[in-house]
A = this chain, B = another copy of it.
Amino acid sequence: MTSETIELHKSLPCTQCPLRSVENFRDFEEDELTFVGRFKKGDLAVKKGATLLVEGAHNPHLYTVLSGWGFRYKLLSDGRRQIVNYVMPGDLVGLQGSLTGEMQHSVEALSSMVLCVFEKAELFSLYERFPALAYDITWMASREECMLDENLLTVGRRTALEKVAYLLVFLLDRGRRSGMTQKPVLSITQQHVADTLGISVVHTNKTIAKLAKRRLLEWEDGGCRITDPEALAELAGWSAGKEARRPFL
C-alpha cells in the first residue's frame, strides 16, 4: 500500500453498487446481496500511477474494481517489465494472493480507481454459505485464464502489427463491456503497449504509426482513439466472444 492510496470511510452500500446498473453484469439474489454487504469492508480510492499491490507482499485484502482501470505486471531483476493483463470494473484483484498466500505480480492504477475492499480471511465462509458465489469466483478465475491464453498467443505468435491491433480491440471491447467507457478512446501510454506486447517502445511507436497511416486509429496526447475497430480485429484475427451477462462480487 503506497502513500497515494486513500481509505474512504463512507463506503457505498452494495445495494447502491455502481456495477449493478451496468448492462453487462448479473443480478444478485436478495440473500447474496446482504451477505456480500457484510463481506465488504469499505471502499478504497487510489490515484493514477499508484501501486495497489506489490509482488511478494501479503495483503489481507481482496478487491473488486468499482471504477477506473489498472494493469497487472511482473518484473525481472534487471527491470524488464511484462504487463500480464489489465483490470477493469467488475474484475477481482488479489484473488491469486488470497489463495496462494503471496502475490506473484504487482498492480498499478492507469487512472484514478475506486475499489471495493473484502477480507481475504472471510473468503472461505463465502464458499461455505454461498456455493453459487463460489462458483462465480471460479468462473472469473477461468475467464482470466482465457484472457491470459490469448495474450500468450499474441505475444508469442502474432506479428508486431497484429499485436498492437489485437491489444487495442481487446482493451476497447473490455472497456465497453465493463461499462468503463463508451468512447473508442484508451488513455494509455506507448510504453504500456510495448510492455504488454513484449516489444520495444520505439518499435511500438513505428507500428502504431503504420496503423495510423492506414486510418485504423489516431494517437492523441497520451491516448489512442480507435477509428476502425472492425479492421483492427480483422487484422489481429480476433473476434470478441459473446459473453452474456457475467458475474462479479
Contacts and interface: CB of A to CB of B under 8 A. Distances in A.
Interface residues of A, number: 45
A244 to B, nearest CB: 10
A30 interface: no
A57 to B, nearest CB: 15
A111 interface: no
A82 B135 CA distance: 29
Contacts of A8: none
A142 interface: yes
Interface in A91-148: 95-96, 99-100, 104-105, 124, 127-128, 131-132, 134-135, 137-139, 141-146, 148
A197 interface: yes
A152 B150 contact: no
Interface of A: 72, 74, 76-77, 80-82, 84, 95-96, 99-100, 104-105, 124, 127-128, 131-132, 134-135, 137-139, 141-146, 148-153, 155-158, 195-198, 237
A84 B149 contact: yes
B237 A76 contact: yes
B127 A157 contact: no
Contacts of A80: 157-158
Contacts of A134: 127, 131, 134-135, 138
Contact of A150 (B72, B74, B158, B198): B74
A197 B131 contact: no
A151 B85 CA distance: 13
A142 B96 contact: yes
A28 B84 CA distance: 34
Nearest to A97: B142
Nearest to A138: B138
A141 B138 contact: yes
A128, A156, A198 interface centre (most CB from chain B within 10 Å): A156
